[in-house]
Structure formats: C-alpha cells, structure tokens
Structure 1
Amino acid sequence: MKILIPILIFARSGGSRVLSELANEWVKSGNDVAFLCPDSSDAPYFPTIARILWVNDKGQIAAERNPLAKPSGRYHLQSLYAGLKAVGAEYELILANQSLTAWPVALASCGNARKAYYVQAYEAEYYVNMKTAKDLVLAAISALSYQLPLKRIVNAPVYFRYKNLRASDFVPPGMDLDIFKPLAVPRDIDSNETIIIGCIGRHEPEKGTIYVLQAFEQLAKLDPRFRLRVAYGNLPQGWQHEKCEVVVPKSDAELADYYRSVDILVSPGTVQHGAPHYPVLEALATGAAVVTTGYMGATEDTAWLVKNKDVQTIVERIQELVRDGAARRAKIAAGLLTAQAFSWKTVSAKMMAIFVRTLFGDNAKK
C-alpha cells in the first residue's frame, strides 16, 4: 500500500515517535510510506526509514529541507495543503494525525486516496486548559476536526465516546520490547535490603507526582528500607528528601534501565484513565510492580489500582504488595504477558488491518 503521512513538524513528542515507528514497521512489511512535511521543520528526532517529502507553501517537493526558513503556522498549513494537492492522488491512503493536519487532509483534493485520522491520547483536551485567545481558537479547531469526513482511529477505547470525539476502532501505541524487557534475574523485594519506589517526575498537576512524594514520605517513616528514585526530576520547588535520588535517562535504553532499577513504579495521573500512558506500559514490560490510578494495560490482574489523589491508598497498596510476595509475583508475570501485545509489529499490523477492513473492503466507509 502507498501511504502518505502529512505532519506539521518532526517533533520530539511521544506522538511523533508513534508515527515514526508505525511508518518503519509498514515499510518493513513491504509498503511504500512517505512523510509530507513543511521544508522548515527540523530533521526527524525519531529515526524513520520512510521517505520524506519536504514541501514549501507553493507545493514544490524537494529532497532537502530548508532550515533557514522561519515561517508561521500558516506557512505550515499552506505547505501541507499545497503538497497534498500536488502528490496526494499518487497515494492510496493519507493519514492525518493531529487536529491541524486533519484540515488540509480533509480539504485537499487527492484523487481516489482514502483518508484516515489517527487521534492520539490527550489530544482531545490538549488546548482545553489554556487561556489565551489563540489557545481558544486552537481548541475550537481541534474540536471541529472530529467532525471532518475522515475515518477516525483512536488509541484507546476510552475515546470511542469522549466529549465530542466519536470513533469505533482503536490502535494503541507500541514499545520496542527488545529494549523494554525485564532483568534476566529479577530484583526480589523479599530479600532486598532496600525497596526502591520509582516515578516519572512531572510538573503538571494532572500527572500526580506530588502524591507519590507524599506517599513516600509516609512510607520512609514506617520502613527504613524504602528509597525513592525519580526519573527526570521536575520536583516541586523546595522539596527534598535524603532518601530520594534523581536520574535523567538520555535514551530509551537508559530509560529501560531506570525501570529495571526500581521495584515499584507509581503512576497516579488524575485524568483520562484508560488511556495509554507510557510509564505504565513500559514498567509492566520491564517487570516492575505498578501502582496506578488506571491506565491502559493496568488492571486488577496486572497492577495495584488506587483512586485519584489518594495518598493513603498509595501507601496501603505499596505495603500490601511488599507483604504479599505471591500476589506480587503473579501480577508482575501477568503484566509482562500483557505488555507483549504492545510490540510495534503487533500494533502496526492492527492499524493496517483496520485500513483494509474499513477503507478498502466491500463495505468501505469513513
């Protein structure tokens, strides 16, 4: 299949990683895949083996980008629209992947190409809490993009009916399971002199970092074995603890090492439960015990679930999993098995099957 993926820029975000990895897998399985990107974008941060078509606002395609250009957002949209009109008809499928790219994909004439829209986690609320006039306009544009005549695919069932977003098919993000894998000989809380709690440090209140810190403060008073290891820092100003260590992974390999270095990963986010959340998926894949408010992959069988903003329950669940070695080992084993469904090969094949069934089958629909 010939697939074109229009993007505004090659970003460093998780959403860009997903697109690069999907494209890589599709190329490996014999498809012709290309990114269409304004020529002013940076080069890809996440490597891709797909072709890159650099385009300017006149629709002129080039093999090289134009790093000296410093255009406005309007330039990016005009470039995508012009580029789609120029080459869109050469492709069988065009995949929009962000609310702003959905508009040129929907409006540009692209011959007989089918059109789909992959809506990734948190996009439905990306601009909601921002207050400037520009943010309000972007929020409206994002909301209206879900009404465009595109086949919508979301990345979790929670988005099938989420506010004004409607969809009936989902494809989760994936992981490189050759990197995110458990230790050959797992750490054993029962015999360890220390019990290491981990979390990903984030400033945003909805990520729940403060609840991990508060729970740890209680646990450290109750049991001298507890330590805290925070990835990336981002701690509240003035917060410190003698048993807290900050580490800053510089690659996926180092991030996987971080997960393998902790016994328990706590992820108490407060919004969009059921959505994919990489710390939960990656911790399950590397064999950590996971305590979370409930994100994709985390169930009563694979993790210890807690309510929103409930520090005391986080404390109790951690004490429970430390005491009950049999239950802990069973949930960790179930989590490792669950993680196998999130390989890039598996999720890319699922996306391709949806394209074929819903866009190219006898009962093709958008």
Structure 2
Amino acid sequence: MKIVIPVMDFGRAGGERVLSNLANELIDKGHDVTFVKPNNGSKPYYPTNAKIKLSKFLVNGNKLTRYITNLYNLVIECRLVKADVVIANYFITAYVAFLMPKKVLKLYYVQANEIKLNRRWMFKILALITYILPLKKIVNSESILPKYTPNIIGVVPAGIDIQKYRSDTLPKEFKGESKFKIGLIGRQEKHKGTKEIISILHLLPEDVKSHLGVNIAVYLPENEKSLLWDYKFYKIDSEDDLRGFYKECDLILAIGLIENGAFHYPCAEAMATKRLVISNYSPLVNTNSKLAIDNFDSDIILEKLIEALSFSSEDIHKEVEDNFKMTLPYAWSTVAEKFDGLIHRNIK
C-alpha cells in the first residue's frame, strides 16, 4: 500500500520522531512510504527508511504569499505520489491531507491539542477547524481531544525503543553513599513548565538539598541558574545521549503545564530506563504509581518529591519494575501493529 506523509520540515521535536519511526515500522510491514516536504534544505534528524520527495519552495515575496504558495506546492507533490493513504500529524498538514483525492484514506494522527499549543488566535482557529474536518483521526491519548470530536477511529500512543532504553541499574536510595540525582528535560516552550519546575526544586529544605544533585538536559533558562545549588547540564545530540542522561538520574520530573494525561516521551523513556518518575502524563498516569499526579500543582509536586525521597530500596525496586512493565505496550512493533490495523480496517 502506498502511503504519503506530508511534513513542513524535518526537526528534532517528538512529532517528527514519531513519524520517522512509524514510517520505518510501516515499511517493515510491506508498505511503500514517502515523505513529502518543502525543498528548504533541511534533512531528517531522525533516521528514516522512507522515500523523500521535495516540493518547490518559494523564498521570495511576502510571508503570506510564500506560505500559501509553499502549502499549495506541498499538496501538488503529495497528489503526484498517487498514494492509497495520507497521514498528517500537524494542523497545517491536515489541510494537505484534506485536499488529497477522495479515494485516498485520509488519516490525521493527533499527537497534541494544537488549540492549546498555539498562541495566535488565527492558528487556534485553523487548528480547531482541522478537528472537525472529515479526516479519520487517530489520537495518541483518549484525553487529548474532547470525546465529542468527530471521526476518531482509534487510540495509538507514540512508541519507544524498549530495549534501547532498558537499564540493568536501579535508582539509588536517598541519603546513600552518593548524591541522589533528580533529572529534568528542559524546554524553552513556556507550556513545558521548565521554569516552574526549577522554582519547585528551589523550595526543597536545605538539609535535603545537601544530598541532592540536579541533572538538566537540552535547555536551562539563564535566569533560573541561580536557583539551583548543584547542577550539571547535558547537551543532547543523539538518542544515545538521551538514554545516557536518563541513566545518570535516579528520578525524572516529567511534568508539564497542559495536556494532562497525554503521552509524554520523557515520562515513557524514563519508565523504560527504570528511573523513578513524577509525572502528569502517560504512561505513568495509567498506573497505580504513588508518584503520578493529575495536573501541575506546585504543592503536590513538592509533596511527591519528598515522598519519593523516602522510598526504601524495596520501594524503589517495586516502583520501577512495575512502571517498566507498563511501557511494554509502547514498543514500536506493538504501536505499528495497531496503526497498521486501523489502516486496513478503514481503507476503501
């Protein structure tokens, strides 16, 4: 079956990561997968075995003209693939999918509620419209869109490489021989809550801080450095770097300000690496973990931190092993099987 996936760019975000891995898995299942993107010079950050076709990219003219023209060129190039299935995963490419021929199965893999993510009111409206377009929607979490959203055909979480992240070492017990390390994937986007999380860490009692270190990867706000008493910054250039970062931590704070319950890569990867995790995201919120929280609440997060630091070695072992088992359904092979099944059940 021929599948086309329109993208605006190849970046380092979780959405691009999901598409690259999904494409590889669908190819392994016998599908012919092609990415179509504007010819703006970017190359895939995440390895993909899919074909890549480039649409014409206009660089001159005003911003609106360029945007419309480049989107039109993307539609034309996607139609030339003569695909059986189109998969969009972003509100802009959802319009590309909508403009494909009627005979094409039009799938919108929704990985974030972009009404919440976009600040500009025009983009919020454009994102809202895509959720009511006659596209068959696959969501990565039951809670990501309102239940009354039309044409939701299934729930397929993003996948992780279980064996790559699995660790044989377990977190240390607090107040052991070496410092207990709290980890955080910092992000510049405000809704990721990096500044707020650092502020919560700053509130920990001084006698507790003396036994703690903080590991921060990807992004550390300059103005918040003074709130950290003992930290190490990790630059992440590859998935191997990311895996190594998790293993340097005993507990990961995988917390954000919005989209409670949605799939969250740091949460899932930390669980697969057998780290303690505090999170308001899945997979953790789908477990019976004492460290799962409903939403971002500074007081509750501080309480959960103190609780986690009181865990005995037996508590830690049970927590991380139970969490690891909950990541098994997120293996890429399982995720791709679900996605492939939805394609076959909905193809004309």
TM bin (shorter chain): 0.7 to 0.9
Amino acid paired to 1:73: Y
Q: Which residue of 2 aligns with 1:106?
A: 98
Q: Which residue of 2 aligns with 1:157?
A: 142
Q: Which residue among 124, 131, 135 is the counterpart of 1:139?
A: 124
> 1:289-328 counterparts in 2 under 5 A?
289-302=276-289, 304-306=291-293, 308-325=295-312, 326-328=314-316
Q: Kindly indicate whether residue 42 of structure 2 is the aligned counterpart of residue 87 of structure 1.
A: no
Query: Residue 106 of structure 1 contacts residue 150 of structure 1 at CA under 8 Å; is this kept in 2?
Result: yes
Work out which structure has the larger RCO, using CA pairs closer than 8 Å and 6 or more positions apart in sequence.
Answer: 2
TM-score (norm 1): 0.84
Runs (5+) with no aligned partner, structure 2:
61-65
Q: Which residue among 355, 359, 363 is the counterpart of 2:343?
A: 355
Q: Kindly indicate whether residue 261 of structure 2 is the aligned counterpart of residue 277 of structure 1.
A: no
Residue 74 of structure 1: how far off its partner (Å): 1.8
Residue 237 of structure 1: how far off its partner (Å): 0.9
Query: Residues 148 and 300 (structure 1 numbering): CA distance in 2 closer, same or farther, change over 3 Å?
Result: closer
CA distance in 2, matches of 1:300, 1:170: 18
Q: Which residue among 228, 239, 246 is the counterpart of 1:252?
A: 239
CA distance in 2, matches of 1:238, 1:315: 18
CA distance in 2, matches of 1:293, 1:237: 25
Residue 25 of structure 1: how far off its partner (Å): 0.8
Amino acid paired to 1:221: E
Query: Residue 9 of structure 2 contacts residue 38 of structure 2 at CA under 8 Å; is this kept in 1?
Result: yes
Runs (5+) with no aligned partner, structure 1:
57-65, 131-135, 361-366
CA distance in 2, matches of 1:290, 1:102: 34
Query: Residue 264 of structure 2 contacts residue 281 of structure 2 at CA under 8 Å; is this kept in 1?
Result: no
Amino acid paired to 2:75: Y
Identity within the alignment, %: 27
Amino acid paired to 1:249: I
CA distance in 2, matches of 1:147, 1:95: 16
Q: For structure 1, which segment, 245-254 or 153-162, has the greater mean C-alpha deviation from structure 2 after superposition? A: 153-162
CA RMSD of the aligned region, Å? Answer: 2.4
TM-score (norm 2): 0.88
Query: Residues 81 and 185 (structure 1 numbering): CA distance in 2 closer, same or farther, change over 3 Å?
Result: closer
Amino acid paired to 1:356: H
CA distance in 2, matches of 1:271, 1:225: 31
> 1:97-246 counterparts in 2 under 5 A?
97-109=89-101, 112-127=103-118, 129-130=119-120, 136-161=121-146, 167-182=152-167, 184-189=168-173, 191-219=176-204, 221-223=206-208, 224-235=210-221, 237=223, 239-240=225-226, 241-246=228-233
Query: Residue 184 of structure 2 contacts residue 217 of structure 2 at CA under 8 Å; is this kept in 1?
Result: yes
Query: Residue 191 of structure 2 contacts residue 256 of structure 2 at CA under 8 Å; is this kept in 1?
Result: yes
Residue 196 of structure 1: how far off its partner (Å): 0.8
Residue-pair matches, total: 339
Residue 300 of structure 1: how far off its partner (Å): 4.9
CA distance in 2, matches of 1:137, 1:323: 48
Q: Which residue of 1 aligns with 2:63?
A: none
Amino acid paired to 2:89: N
